[in-house]
Structure formats: C-alpha cells, structure tokens
Amino acid sequence: MITNIHLKNFKAIREASVELSNLNLLTGLNGMGKSSLIQSLLILRQSKTILDNALLLKGELVELGTGSDVLYQYAENEEIFIRIMFNQTHLLERTFIARDSQQLSANSIKQTPILNFGEESLFSKSFQYLTAEHLSPKQIYQTATWEDDSGDFKDFAKLGNLGKYGEYTAHYLSTFGDKLVRYDNLLHTRTSSKILYQQVDAWLSEISPNVRLSNTYLSNINGVVQTFKFSTKSGFTNEFKPVNVGFGLTYALPIIVSLLTASENDLLIIENPESHLHPKGQSKMGELMALAAQNGVQIIVETHSDHILNGFRVATKKRNIDAEKIRIYYFDRDVESDSHFCRILQPVIDQEGRIDEWPEGFFDEFEKNLMEL
C-alpha cells in the first residue's frame, strides 16, 4: 500500500507531501492539483519497464505533453522530484530532468532499483485505474484476453483489469458473473446471494430501481452484448440496450464491479465516480467504497461530490469503516500569492462521521446558497 507521496515541481504542485491510507478522497477547486497527484502515479506505472532511466509522459494510461508542460512554472531548476513510500518501509525515489520531450531522463543519483517494487500494487497486476472518461453505452462491447484460464474467480487485476474506460467490464461479467463475492461486508441487503451478478444488480438498483443486468458473449463476433431489464409487480420489462437506458448505469457499472471484486492490498484509482448519478446513487457509491476500503483495498478517488463524502461519513458512523482508514485532502490556492501553486489542506473525519474543519470552498456551496435564499 502507498503510504506517502512526495512531489516537487510537478505541474501546479510546487512541493507537497501527502499521507495516504485505505480510502483517500481528493477534492477542491479546478486546476489545483488533484489530477496532478493521480497523474504522478499513472506516469510511474506506465514507465515501469524503463523507470530506472526515464519517465514516460505519454503512455497507455495518460498523456501529459512534454517536460516543459509538467514542470512547475516557477521552479528554480528543471528537476522534478517524486518519492513514493510503500507500507512505511519501502521508498521509491526519483529525480527527473524536465527537457522538452515526452520522455524525461532520470538523474542517476540516489536511484532505487525498480525491481525492488515489482510486487507493489502500483506496479503489479493488483491495480485498476478508471478515468473520468468512461466508455459510453455501446451496442457491442469488446473483449479482453484474461491471463488466467482456470475459470476461478479472482480479483479483476489478476485477470487483466477492466480497462481504464471500463471497456472490458461486460466481458468480465459474462465470464465471471456467476462467481462469488469474497467479502461478506460488501453484500447488499437487497439480496443474501453472494453471486457477483446478483450483487451487481443490487448495487445498480441504488441508481435505477429493480434493474437486472445481462451480458452475453457471442463467439461469432468476439464481442459481448449487454442488456438491462426491470422487474415489475407482474414480471419483467423487455430487455433494453445500454444506449436506451441512460448513461448513469453504464458509467457506474465498472466502478461497482471493481469494488466488489477487489482484494486486500489492491490499488483502485477512480476519477469522478459521481458523474451521471443522482444524489442517492452517489452516496451509496461512497458507502460501497468505504466497505471495500475496510477490507484492506486502497482507493484513491477524485470527486467534487459532497454526496460521495457523505457516503464515507455515513459508513463511518455505522462503523462500516474505521475512521483512521480515511484521508481527506482539499486542494486550493492562495490567490494573494505572486505565483500559482496548490495548497493542500486535510480535514479530519472522526468515528461519528464528523469533520473537524470546513475550509472556505470545501463543500460549503449548499449552505451559502441557502443563506442567499
């Protein structure tokens, strides 16, 4: 598990050190460094085969331009420093020279061999990244080649993951949907079944009531057809294609599947899980994240939703997660400063779901609008 990220001269981050736990919420004003913190991890992962010598700014997970694009504007030199602490014991430290290239050369001084970190979730198959740009509803979903042919239900990462857009979720469910969810605390109260498909239906029903999901692999086209139907008092509706049921279900599906299938020490990075969801669905998504984090999964989530945060708070109040497993970071800036750099504040949540401080701009717009009314 990543326990600390220290960055210097990276995009809007002049210098910052962030302690992480199991459930980590990044929020704040736009353009203040939330995505930059996540991107620092993504470029490390996509550079794992050459990280001893260079850092790739363009890769399978993210494209950030050239060194001049990612170097902090007011930096005193061209060095970008990244230090990652794993489990308070293993330290990965790199200094890169920000040249005008998509590949940054590493300073050879004090480099720790990347091979020492091959088992860490950031560099192993115990990793899932879901970008904010989820796959839109499709007629046919593409397939992925799983790395395990035994048919056993393992976690998403050891099977090749769901894709950064969630594009392999339908194929994953068509293959492993009848397997069992391993952690009892993730089971929705709507059903006692531990079958993954039924648990996915139950959690999706928090977004659209009584929904039933189906994924069918078609060998003749090497694709997966996905449909939704809804239960009624007398039976079920017709089956509807994803393009006819709205974006919310399609957007939420890979997030729910990744949370239900993640194992202890897996790393999930999720951007904007609230998109296209109504407030109740956002809150329940926050609760499900908390339940997964309690099992030892590490989750880093970027969000602008107070409902996601309140889902964390409710889960804490219900004792579904230990408060010390939650970290909240609020990104803003000092507008009076002569230079632009992010300032990171850390409100603290207690076991009753209370937060010790509410900085200006930290999920306070509802109260401000209420006062205006």
pLDDT in tens, 94-121: 899 888 888 888 875 556 666 577 789 9
pLDDT at 149 over 60: no
Cα 315 to Cα 353: distance, rounded to the nearest angstrom: 8
Residue range(s) of every CATH 3.40.50 domain in the chain: 1-126+267-373
| Contact status, residue 54 vs residue 47, Cβ threshold 8 Å | yes
User: Tokens for 190?
Assistant: 């709507």
Percent of the chain with pLDDT over 90: 59
At 111 the pLDDT is 60
SS (H, E, C) the chain: CEEEEEEEEECCEEEEEEECCCEEEEEECCCCCHHHHHHHHHHHHHCCCCCCCEEECECCCCECCCHHHHECCCCCCCEEEEEEEECCCEEEEEEEECCCCCEEEECCCCCCCHHHHCCCCCCCCCEEEECCCCCCCCCCECCCCCCCCCCCCCCCHHHCCCCCCCCCHHHHHHHHCCCECCCHHHCCCCCCCCEHHHHHHHHHCCCCCCEEEEEEEECCCCEEEEEEEEEECCEECCCECHHHCCHHHHHHHHHHHHHHHCCCCCEEEEECCCCCCCHHHHHHHHHHHHHHHHCCCEEEEECCCHHHHHHHHHHHHCCCCCHHHEEEEEEECCCCCCCCCCEEECCCECCCCCECCCCCCCCCHHHHHHHHC
Global pTM? 0.91
At 157 the pLDDT is 45
Task: Give the tens place of pLDDT for each residue, 299-345.
Answer: 999 999 999 999 999 999 999 999 999 999 999 887 666 667 788 89
Cα 295 to Cα 228: distance, rounded to the nearest angstrom: 30
Cα 288 to Cα 200: distance, rounded to the nearest angstrom: 11
* Maximum C-alpha span of the chain: 71
| Amino acid present at 53 | N
Confidence of residue 364 (pLDDT cuts 50, 70, 90): low
Which CATH number is associated with domain 1-126+267-373? Answer: 3.40.50
Average the pLDDT over 198-203 and give the result: 95
Task: Give the tens place of pLDDT for each residue, 217-249.
Answer: 998 888 999 999 998 888 889 999 998 887 889
Q: Which is it for strands 343-345 and 326-332: parallel, antiparallel or unpaired? A: antiparallel
Cα 78 to Cα 69: distance, rounded to the nearest angstrom: 12
